[in-house]
């Protein structure tokens, strides 16, 4: 039986979204069953009208230019590419918190990238309880 990995994205900061994408890629590489929950800031970041151009660093860093320069120098792609590639390569499902969706735009999954289902917070809590590894960024 595959190990279960849950990633809760609560931040819209590019550094946390990038870190989450890298961690998710590692879980996919280890053939884990993965679930990604877009909660509050994470939901905002995955909005189709926002995500492609989003490079703003969140609360952990003060110098967006330094972070973006480091990504470019290290040849690290835009954070959204990690999640798209993970979905193509492995067993990963994306869930939009219905309340977060309503706060930022709508609870319609088509307004957000990669979303398979809209759910309530209970779905996230249950998945986190059942996971072998659960991370919140």
Supply the pLDDT for residue 60: 44
Residue 125 sits in a domain whose CATH number is 3.40.1260.10
C-alpha pair distances (Å), 98 with each of 32, 70, 110, 121, 132 = 25, 35, 13, 8, 25
Comparison of pLDDT for 25 and 55, the residue scoring more? 25
Structure confidence at residue 101 as a pLDDT band (50, 70, 90) = very high
Residue partners of 88: CB distance under 8 A and separation at least 6: none
Going across the sheet that includes 92-97, the strands are: 117-119, 92-97, 33-38, 4-9, 133-136
Domain that holds residue 95: 4-136
Backbone phi and psi for residue 34, each to the nearest 5 degrees, phi listed first: -115, 140
- Compute the average pLDDT of residues 76-89: 94
What's the confidence (pLDDT) of residue 13? 86
**Per-residue pLDDT band at 56 (split at 50, 70, 90):** low
Q: H or E element: which one contains 99?
A: helix 98-104
Tens of pLDDT, residues 57-79? 555 445 577 777 888 999 999 88
Does the pLDDT of residue 93 top 80, yes or no? Answer: yes
Q: How many structural domains comprise the chain?
A: 1
């Amino acid at each position: 039986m595959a190990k279960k990995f849950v990633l809760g994205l609560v931040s819209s900061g590019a550094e946390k979204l990038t870190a989450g994408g890298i961690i998710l890629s590692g879980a996919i590489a280890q053939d884990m069953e993965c679930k990604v929950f877009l909660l509050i800031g994470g939901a905002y970041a995955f909005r189709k009208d926002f995500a492609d151009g989003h490079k703003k660093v969140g609360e952990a860093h003060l110098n967006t230019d330094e972070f973006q320069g480091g990504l470019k120098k290290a040849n690290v792609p835009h954070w959204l590419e990690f999640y798209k590639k993970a979905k193509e390569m492995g067993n990963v499902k994306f869930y939009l918190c219905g309340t977060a969706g309503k706060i930022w735009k709508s609870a319609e999954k088509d307004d957000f990238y990669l979303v398979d289902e809209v759910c309530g917070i209970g779905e996230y809590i249950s998945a986190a309880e059942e996971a072998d590894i659960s991370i919140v960024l």
